[in-house]
Amino acid sequence: MSQDRTPAAAALDAALQAKIDRLHAFVDEIAARHAKIKLASSLAAEDMVLTHAILSRALPIGIFSLNTGRLHAETLEMIDRIRERYGYEIEQFHPQAEAVDEYVKTHGLNAFYESVELRKRCCEIRKVEPLNRALAGVDAWVTGQRREQSVTRAELHEQERDAARNIDKYNPLADWSEGEVWAYLKLHDVPVNPLHARGYPSIGCEPCTRAVRPGEDSRAGRWWWESRDSKECGLHVTTLQFAPGAAQPSTQA
């Protein structure tokens, strides 16, 4: 460290390094716990932190993404960038073509703007069903969710139980701030989706995502026409139960 660093800056560096060390220890531990475990990656900033933590240290955690058929071109390009940087091929899961065709034929291509019910049905077809296939046969899965992202995630735990699939679920970045995420990405020169620089902190399907305005939470641009306290796609709600008596990772604060 250079001598012109202030005590405050040095303390900040030390705090970030401690957070990084704890993250790596946590990911190491959950990788050791489970014979088959996967990271569900949206290819956005948080998941790129976890992708780097896994691939740069050759951990036995598979990584997959849900290719909904409505993603931004910039998001899809992240698959190539990961291959180039890490030599790893992200596994992609697509929706069932018959279900997509039936939805479009019955309701229209962009019917999700018409009601929450139709939006959730679209998410079920394009995200939830492919996720179920992606997680078939695994012992646990990992996500990049953070408490700070929205009101629907304020009570997020680092370890949960996915009761519907009867597997464990981990959110290693639950207590990370947005600033800490970006500090990690910068420190390790991790490739990131260029949409982030255009005001998209949370990136989903193109027709359902917009840039956020100053002062909005990071998921305000997702399904912006809906109530802010119900904006989830079905991947992370209703089936997840935290077991207070379950053993917690030794890296828990």
Q: Which residues are catalytic, by number?
A: 233
Break the chain down into helix, strand, coil percent, rounded to 5: 45, 10, 45
| CA pair distance 40, 169, nearest whole angstrom | 11
E strands present in 36-95: 37-40, 62-66, 91-93
Helix (H, G, I), strand (E, B) or coil at 209: strand
Q: Return the number of other C-beta atoms located less than 10 Å from residue 167's C-beta.
A: 18
Phi, psi of 43 (to 5 degrees): 70, 15
Written as one string, the DSSP assignment of 110-146 is: TGGGT-HHHHHHHHIIIIIHHHHHHTTT-SEEE----
The C-alpha angle 210, 212, 217, rounded to 5 degrees, equals: 125
Confirm if 111 and 122 have CB atoms less than 8 A apart. Answer: yes
Confirm if 122 and 103 have CB atoms less than 8 A apart. Answer: yes
The tokens of 185 are what? Answer: 């990405």
